[in-house]
A and B are shown apart, each in its own frame.
Chain A
Amino acid sequence: MFDYHALAPELIIGGTLLVALLADLVLPENRKYLVGVIGLVGLAAALLPLLTVGFCDDLPFCEGGAARVMFGGSYVVDDFALVLKGLFVLTGIISVLMSVAYIESDRYYQGEFYFLIIASVLGAVIMASSRDLITLFIGLELVSGPAFLLAGWRKGDVRSNEASLKFFLIGVLSAAILLFGMSLVYGLTGEITFEGIRVASAGLSEEPAFILGVIFILVGFGFKIAAVPFHFWAPDTYQGAPTPVAAYLSVGSKAAGFVGLLTICYLAFANVADIWGPVLWILAVLSMTIGNLTALKQTNIVRLLGYSSIAHAGFVLVPFAMAAAYDAEGLESAFSASITYLLFYAFMNLGAFAVVIAGAEKAGSAEIDDWAGLSRYAPGLASLLGIFFFSLAGIPPLAGWFAKFVMFRSVMGGGAGAWGVALAVIAAVNAVVALYYYARVVKTAFMDPVPATAPLELAARHQTAPALALVLGITAAVVIVAGFYPPILSFFGDAARVLSFGG
């Protein structure tokens, strides 16, 4: 049956999508930005039912429990889904805000741009609720399809073409691998829903074809979340794509991949954690280490963030890795650790990208060396750069520390044993390595002299667009406040642990 209250966010976003498309047809060229405004209003409106469903018990007009199961168990709206939907919608809002000035300066196809971003957000929102293989796959493709086009937005730019093509080819390849894995799992279990697979897979952990299926699914998602060794598309795509799109890819699209991985691992494959646990252990170690070591050498700030986001994918995977050894409580804490990490990461990485957009306009380039002495002519922007980059590095009192902390916490507890401690130590060393490249950018901005070639006059005239400034303000406030008082974000990560395990 239809639960319109629970489905309201999807319906609102879908409606916004159509309105945006229509509005783009009728609006004159100089009013196209209104499509963006429509998108913002629609996305913001979608947040409202998320809240009313989430706090349903406290509201007089609202009926029904926390977990609303629909379509024969294929579509579930529980606290986990609500938290992640909220994250996706917020990421969408922030990405649109970042894009407004950026896209306007390019002068073409504004309307479609917003249409595509909202469509991608809709896909992610669907993924958060999907509890069977087909809905998950459709959601995932709805996330990726528009993203291919967005990556190639700057048509005249060869790099943007490369970004789009690479992303598209890898995306198609990963979808194929994912589908192949899903078909194997379906063939062996005869089930589509996660719950059915969980029950049917109890005795299959020795079955080679099933193991292959599980590993193929992991590989498919591995591409989506850009985990090493499936990462090589990410830095090229981020660098070539318009920077707001790169921000969206590195947060929204990546988080969508993680949602798929989380639900499928913890729900469908809960009984075969000894297959995926060790695989993800290796992926986590490789992603952290190789992502960080490669980031050390980068000269372009967007590429640097690309590799840093690969390393962060590794950190998010860390709690997964010891799943085979966990008891039920440990699993729950690992699950919420990954989500909490994603929540914190979303705000600081979006903020970092916003700084990069604003800074690249001021300094006239995204090469790190050209940012030298930024603090002399743009002290506010340089301070924000410091805030977001050190937060990404996990330095207290900025919010990133808490994300790292819950990650460490999940592997140290629950009888994780020697492999867990080894992973924690590797992660700790990686956190120190990561500090070096984040600090290097901050050093360049604060401690190096302004180069003679710096476009100071341009910088003095250039004002950061109001929408972008708003993004910077919001994300910076969250990063600082959540650093001192993590519960404002961790509350949601903790709420999301009430995923109905085996329920």
Chain B
Amino acid sequence: MSWFDQGWGLSLTVFLPLVGVGMLLLIPKSQERLIKFVALGFGLASFAASILLLFRFEFGSSEAFQFGTDLTWIPAIGSNYHIGIDGISLPMMVLSTFITVLAIVYSWNHWPDPHNPKAFLALILLLATGMAGTFVALDLILFFIFFELVLLPMYFMIGVWGDRTMIRLPGFKREVETRLYASIKFFLFTLFGSAFMLLGFLAIYFKSDPHTFDIVALHQAGSMGVFDGTYGMWVFAALFLGFAVKVPMWPLHTWLPDAHTAAPTVGSVLLAAILLKLGAYGFIRISLPILPEQAQTWAPAIAILAVIAIVYGSLACLAQTDMKRLIAFSSVGHMGFVMLAISTLTEAGLNAAVIGMVAHGVITGLLFFIAGSMAHRYHTREMARLGGNQTLMPIMAGILAFTAMASLGLPGLAGFWGEFMALLGAFNPLAGLSLGVFRTAMVVGAVGTVLTAGYLLWMLQKVNLGEPSEEWLGKDLHDADRFELAAWVPLVVAILAIGIWPKIVFGATEGAVANLIKTAFGG
């Protein structure tokens, strides 16, 4: 199996879905069954490869990049096909292949208009390549390509299969369909950020000596303080713009509620579960280790923005009438916790960030699945009209309640660890960071957890409890079907498993995080 460990395993994980896209294009549109099986096959193959890597991973030395390879890619600019995973990227990569498979399974009998499974599944697989690739790339340009690769498929997914409700934008006379507005807004925001991110990468390249895009070599250079002073500040700012839009951090988050709400169910799931993580992962993989000095200067500002996001996201949730939009805004708050954790620059913080991302991926992914299935049946997402779901669809309501509990951070379920340890990290941030700012952030963040519990319970009360409205009586509302359960049960299991035994994630991250903090910040 040595070929597998020397780059092939990772490459297969990343590129099998892309091969799948090519295969799908060759199959005529009318062969829907075949198309579904081929897509599922490639999704599963990629997942299997990532699981095999998980089992072969050397947890004892999780700070080292494993299964890597380093091949010439674009000699003209000195960029290599350098890949590898450590304890931080491993959980993220497995999460992305896992969610992809579930997205394909869920799609089996849920086709948003205008149908066309071939194109839809091809886009999911293209996304899968971009997502997994971002987590394994160890070259800035390679990272950039994978980071951007997710834009096109998501743009089309939202724009073609998205929500057709008409909205009127302030300042415009004509109404426009939500999907059209949301898709281009998502695209423009992200591209704006990543254009500056690319400039930042180039600035890093030209400052490093010898010039290199290699992330591992740059980690070394960063820990020796090559990128210092004002230069470093501008570079950090440029990278910040790219990553913060993707996370998204307040006040760059405004594309998120629109995109998540307008996207088809599977699109929302992938957006929330994986795409948002790309930004936060970028902070951990690139900004912190390469620009440690600037990270310390920026940390209080990031912490403040993060707690604003937590409180703002929660309050915005309380103002929503649309169930899907509420879940979308909850992502702003949850990613706020992740960013707060990152800004502490401590071991506890970064561990919290990774487990928080994994937990948010499985929990919010599941919430979006359920919201999509409910909208599919009720043809509305207005919480005021839903009500009484518990009597109409007990299984779905049960899973919704379970997931909401996980989302609000109930101990014993996955969401707890990320929030709890983020606050713990904020209590005791890296030496030299302002205690005042971080402890205040901790208190505000703690208030945020209460607000989070508030809006989720409020949602449960509106959607699950009470008497079903007259309009649903006599309608044929069937409970979760087998495809839905096939997609959801694994997520429920994951939420429980991570909640009860967080070592699943920490086992991988601890060593890598400790090493990162030690080399970058000396603590």
A binding-site residues for B, Cβ under 8 Å: 336, 340, 386, 390, 395-397, 401-402, 405-406, 408-409, 412-413, 421, 424-425, 428-429, 431-432, 435-436, 439-440, 443, 446-447, 485-487, 490-491, 493-494
Let me know if A493 and B184 touch, CB within 8 A.
no
Residue of A nearest to B162 (CB): A447
Task: Return chain A residues, CB-CB under 8 Å to B179.
Answer: 447
Q: How far is the CA of A390 from the CA of B184 in the complex (A)?
A: 13
Q: How far is the CA of A421 from the CA of B207 in the complex (A)?
A: 14
Let me know if A397 and B149 touch, CB within 8 A.
yes
Which of B153-161, B263-271, B288-296 has 4 or more CB atoms under 8 Å from chain A? B153-161
B contact face: mostly helix, strand, loop, or mixed: helix
Let me know if B202 and A435 touch, CB within 8 A.
no
Using an 8 Å CB-CB cutoff, how does the interface string of B183-219 with A read, 1 for contact, 0 for none? Answer: 1100110011001101100110110000000000000
Task: Return chain B residues, CB-CB under 8 Å to A485.
Answer: 73-74
Which A-B residue pairs are the 3 nearest by beta carbons?
A428-B195, A396-B148, A412-B202
- Which of B152, B180, B183, B196 has the most chain A CB atoms closer than 10 A to its own CB? B152
Let me know if A487 and B74 touch, CB within 8 A.
yes
Q: Is B26 an interface residue (CB 8 A)?
A: no
Task: Return chain B residues, CB-CB under 8 Å to A432.
Answer: 188, 191-192, 195
Residue of A nearest to B204 (CB): A412
Q: How far is the CA of A414 from the CA of B203 in the complex (A)?
A: 11
Shortest distance from the beta carbon of A412 to any chain B beta carbon, whole Å: 4
Task: Return chain B residues, CB-CB under 8 Å to A409.
Answer: 77, 202, 205
Let me know if A447 and B199 touch, CB within 8 A.
no
Using an 8 Å CB-CB cutoff, how does the interface string of B71-82 with A read, 1 for contact, 0 for none? Answer: 001111100000
What are 12 A-B interface contacts by the 8 Å CB criterion?
Answer: A386-B152, A396-B145, A401-B145, A405-B141, A412-B203, A421-B199, A424-B202, A428-B199, A432-B188, A435-B187, A446-B159, A446-B160
Residues 141-181 of B at the A interface (beta carbon under 8 Å): 141, 144-145, 148-149, 151-152, 155-156, 159-160, 179-180
Task: Return chain A residues, CB-CB under 8 Å to B199.
Answer: 408, 412, 421, 424-425, 428
Let me know if A443 and B159 touch, CB within 8 A.
yes
Shortest distance from the beta carbon of A490 to any chain B beta carbon, whole Å: 5
Shortest distance from the beta carbon of B151 to any chain A beta carbon, whole Å: 6
Which one, B73, B188, B196, B198, contacts A435 given CB within 8 A?
B188
Task: Return chain B residues, CB-CB under 8 Å to A390.
Answer: 152
Q: How far is the CA of A330 from the CA of B216 in the complex (A)?
A: 26
- What 15 additional pairs, Cβ within 8 angstroms, besides A413-B205, A439-B155? A340-B76, A386-B156, A390-B152, A395-B148, A405-B141, A409-B77, A412-B206, A424-B202, A428-B198, A429-B195, A432-B191, A443-B184, A447-B179, A447-B183, A490-B77
Residue of A nearest to B211 (CB): A413
Using a Cβ–Cβ cut-off of 8 Å, how many residues does chain B contribute to the interface with A? 32
Residue of A nearest to B147 (CB): A396
Q: How far is the CA of A446 from the CA of B192 in the complex (A)?
A: 23
Let me know if A491 and B188 touch, CB within 8 A.
no
Task: Return chain A residues, CB-CB under 8 Å to B77.
Answer: 405-406, 409, 490
Q: How far is the CA of A491 from the CA of B72 in the complex (A)?
A: 13
Let me know if A446 and B145 touch, CB within 8 A.
no
Which one, B76, B145, B202, contacts A491 given CB within 8 A?
B76
Which one, B73, B151, B184, contacts A395 given CB within 8 A?
B151
Shortest distance from the beta carbon of A372 to any chain B beta carbon, whole Å: 12
Q: How far is the CA of A491 from the CA of B206 in the complex (A)?
A: 21
Which one, A395, A401, A428, A493, contacts B76 given CB within 8 A?
A493
Task: Return chain B residues, CB-CB under 8 Å to A447.
Answer: 159-160, 179-180, 183
Task: Return chain B residues, CB-CB under 8 Å to A435.
Answer: 187-188, 191
Q: How far is the CA of A283 from the CA of B179 in the complex (A)?
A: 38
Which one, A395, A408, A425, A491, contacts B191 given CB within 8 A?
A395
Let me know if A396 and B149 touch, CB within 8 A.
yes
Residue of B nearest to A410 (CB): B202
Task: Return chain A residues, CB-CB under 8 Å to B183.
Answer: 443, 447
Shortest distance from the beta carbon of B72 to any chain A beta carbon, whole Å: 9
B binding-site residues for A, Cβ under 8 Å: 73-77, 141, 144-145, 148-149, 151-152, 155-156, 159-160, 179-180, 183-184, 187-188, 191-192, 195-196, 198-199, 202-203, 205-206
Q: How far is the CA of A186 from the CA of B156 in the complex (A)?
A: 56
- Which of B159, B180, B196, B202 has the most chain A CB atoms closer than 10 A to its own CB? B202
Q: How far is the CA of A412 from the CA of B206 in the complex (A)?
A: 8
Q: How far is the CA of A494 from the CA of B75 in the complex (A)?
A: 10
Q: How far is the CA of A447 from the CA of B158 in the complex (A)?
A: 10
Q: How far is the CA of A404 from the CA of B73 in the complex (A)?
A: 18
Which one, B76, B160, B180, contacts A487 given CB within 8 A?
B76
Q: How far is the CA of A334 from the CA of B202 in the complex (A)?
A: 15
Shortest distance from the beta carbon of B465 to any chain A beta carbon, whole Å: 39
Shortest distance from the beta carbon of B114 to any chain A beta carbon, whole Å: 8
Q: How far is the CA of A406 from the CA of B141 in the complex (A)?
A: 12
Q: How far is the CA of A345 from the CA of B468 in the complex (A)?
A: 60
Shortest distance from the beta carbon of A80 to any chain B beta carbon, whole Å: 15
Q: How far is the CA of A397 from the CA of B149 in the complex (A)?
A: 6
Task: Return chain B residues, CB-CB under 8 Å to A405.
Answer: 77, 141, 198
Task: Return chain A residues, CB-CB under 8 Å to B145.
Answer: 396-397, 401
Q: How far is the CA of A439 from the CA of B159 in the complex (A)?
A: 11
Q: How far is the CA of A340 from the CA of B141 in the complex (A)?
A: 17
Shortest distance from the beta carbon of A138 to any chain B beta carbon, whole Å: 34
Shortest distance from the beta carbon of B292 to any chain A beta carbon, whole Å: 22
Q: How far is the CA of A487 from the CA of B76 in the complex (A)?
A: 7
Q: How far is the CA of A425 from the CA of B180 in the complex (A)?
A: 28
Q: How far is the CA of A396 from the CA of B73 in the complex (A)?
A: 15
Which one, A340, A402, A431, A446, contacts B195 given CB within 8 A?
A431
Which one, A396, A413, A446, A487, contacts B75 given CB within 8 A?
A487
Let me know if B144 and A443 touch, CB within 8 A.
no
Residue of B nearest to A387 (CB): B152
Q: How far is the CA of A333 from the CA of B183 in the complex (A)?
A: 37
Residue of A nearest to B151 (CB): A395
Let me know if A431 and B76 touch, CB within 8 A.
no
Let me know if A439 and B187 touch, CB within 8 A.
yes
Residue of A nearest to B206 (CB): A413
Shortest distance from the beta carbon of B234 to any chain A beta carbon, whole Å: 8
Q: How far is the CA of A316 from the CA of B147 in the complex (A)?
A: 25
Let me know if B180 and A443 touch, CB within 8 A.
yes
Q: How far is the CA of A402 from the CA of B76 in the complex (A)?
A: 11
Residue of A nearest to B179 (CB): A447
Q: How far is the CA of A46 from the CA of B180 in the complex (A)?
A: 48
Let me know if A431 and B75 touch, CB within 8 A.
no
Task: Return chain A residues, CB-CB under 8 Å to B187.
Answer: 435, 439
Shortest distance from the beta carbon of B137 to any chain A beta carbon, whole Å: 12
Residue of B nearest to A436 (CB): B188
Shortest distance from the beta carbon of B94 to any chain A beta carbon, whole Å: 23
Let me know if B76 and A490 touch, CB within 8 A.
yes
Task: Return chain B residues, CB-CB under 8 Å to A491.
Answer: 76
Task: Return chain A residues, CB-CB under 8 Å to B151.
Answer: 395
Residue of B nearest to A425 (CB): B199
Given contacts A395-B151, A428-B196, A443-B180, contact A486 B191 (CB under 8 A): no
Given contacts A443-B180, A487-B76, contact A431 B191 (CB under 8 A): yes
Q: How far is the CA of A425 from the CA of B196 in the complex (A)?
A: 8
Task: Return chain A residues, CB-CB under 8 Å to B191.
Answer: 395, 431-432, 435
Q: How far is the CA of A161 from the CA of B151 in the complex (A)?
A: 43
Shortest distance from the beta carbon of A440 to any chain B beta carbon, whole Å: 8
Residue of B nearest to A431 (CB): B195
- Which of A340, A408, A432, A494 has the most chain B CB atoms closer than 10 A to its own CB? A432
Task: Return chain B residues, CB-CB under 8 Å to A421.
Answer: 199
Q: How far is the CA of A395 from the CA of B192 in the complex (A)?
A: 12
Task: Return chain A residues, CB-CB under 8 Å to B192.
Answer: 429, 432
Q: How far is the CA of A396 from the CA of B190 in the complex (A)?
A: 13
Task: Return chain A residues, CB-CB under 8 Å to B74.
Answer: 402, 485-487, 490
Task: Return chain A residues, CB-CB under 8 Å to B202.
Answer: 408-409, 412-413, 424
- Which of A390, A397, A485 has the most chain B CB atoms closer than 10 A to its own CB? A397
Shortest distance from the beta carbon of B310 to any chain A beta carbon, whole Å: 29
Q: How far is the CA of A395 from the CA of B145 in the complex (A)?
A: 9
Shortest distance from the beta carbon of A433 to any chain B beta carbon, whole Å: 9
Q: How far is the CA of A402 from the CA of B141 in the complex (A)?
A: 10
